Structures are given as structure tokens and as C-alpha cells.
Amino acid sequence: MNPQPILRVSNIHKSYKTGRSDFLHVLKGVDFSVREGEIVAIVGPSGVGKSTLLHIIGILDRADEGVVEIDGVNVSSYDDARLALIRNKTAGFIFQAHHLLSEFTALENVMMPGLIGGLSKQQLKEPAMKLLREVGLVDRAGHRPMELSGGEQQRIAVARALINRPRLLLADEPSGNLDVRTAESLHSLLWNLSREHRQTLIIVTHNHYLAKRADRIVELYDGRIKSDVRNHTF
């Protein structure tokens, strides 16, 4: 196992302007690292900065202060264009809302990050179909999102997040809009795919049962890490 963390964040601060001169200090010096293949659950009360931290980890947003390192490289000072390239290749995102493109089929939605990354449909069709098979939806390849159930849409979103074989899989309450049975099925799928592909998974969740299945639970409180507990040996 590679002892070098795939991800390290140091002294992360983030504030948002709430009025003419008022600021909400959401993150107040967050430090932690994640190893390759590790599954980490980020928990804490609503509004504590969990999603903000996930967005900074996935370089969707910039910290006001601090450093984000991916594979030992500090990407914090990169310009937006370079960050977009790194994000496309390094991170796969799964949000509570699936954000599928309604005018495209399931197969085309899965291929989309690869197309944005410069690959052709011919290059992407086979791996996209393989991912659809892995999430149990190969027979829905030609269907559009409106023809799929909520659980099926989220499975398509999982396949889409994996198409570029990202180093980091980042999930923000991915089952928040699903019923309990469908949510449990999605959780098992994420865990199985993470283990099978040796995918580093960081998941923001309010589901404490789900968090206990992770290798580690990182609890945020008042903009800082309150605890970082390992559930079992990784």
C-alpha cells in the first residue's frame, strides 16, 4: 500500500459574505489527509461546512486560506483553466440531486465527463457500457432521465462519476432524495465499486449507520474537525 496520502488539506479556511460587511466563517483551519482506496465519511450538523469542505477537496471551490495537495502536488495556486483539467481527470462527483442532462440518454450522460475531457464517443462507449452493466442498468442505456426512477438516475450518476477513472470519488448526501430501501442499495453499490476499483471515496452524510461502514468518520463541528475516528483497520 502506498503510504503517501492521495489527498491532504492543510489549514483550510472559508468564509461567505452574508451582508454588506458581515461574513460567515464556515471552515476555520481544517487539516486532514486520505490514503488511496480509503473510504471516509464526513459527518456533522447541518450548516457546519461539510459540503463546503467537499467542494474544496474536489476543487470545485477555492479556500480563502490553506493548501490542497493531490498526490503530493499543491494545486491551490493553479488558475481556473488548469484546475478544471485536473478536476475532470482526478475527481468524480455524486450529488444529492443527480444533475443528469435531460436531453441525453443514460449512456450519453455517463460518457459526458469523458467527452468534456477530449475523448471520443467511440473511445467511451465500451467503458460506459461496462459501467452501466456494473450499476445494473445496461438495459437502460438508451433511456432518458425522465424515463428512469430516482434510484436508477442516481446509479447513472455513479457510473458517470467513474467514467474518467478518477482518483477521488466525492459524494454529497447521494441518497438524500431516495427511500430507505433504494438508499441502502445505492450505498452497497458505492461501497462495492469503491473496493473493486480501489477507489478513494469521501462521502458527506447524515446517515450514521452508513458512516459506520466507512474506514474512518471525520466529524466537523463549528468549522473544525471535532474527531477523526477509524472504524476498522484499513
CB atoms < 10 A from the CB of 182, how many?
A: 17
Q: What is the pTM of this model?
A: 0.90
Quick one: cell of 85? 483539467
* Interatomic CA distance for residues 126 and 93, integer angstroms: 21
The predicted-structure confidence for 92-137, as pLDDT tens digits, reads as follows 999 888 889 999 999 999 999 999 989 999 999 999 999 999 999 9
pLDDT mean across residues, the chain = 90
Domain annotation for the chain: domains and CATH numbers: 7-230 (3.40.50.300)
DSSP state of 140: G
Helix (H) or strand (E) holding 90: helix 80-90
Query: Could you give the 3-state DSSP secondary structure of residue 187?
Result: helix
Residues 172, 213, 207: CA angle, nearest 5 degrees: 45
- With CA atoms as reference, report the closest residue to 209 among 226, 187, 234, 186: 187
Residues 116, 118, 122: CA angle, nearest 5 degrees: 105
The predicted-structure confidence for 160-194, as pLDDT tens digits, reads as follows 999 999 989 999 988 878 888 888 888 888 898 88
pLDDT at 3: 57
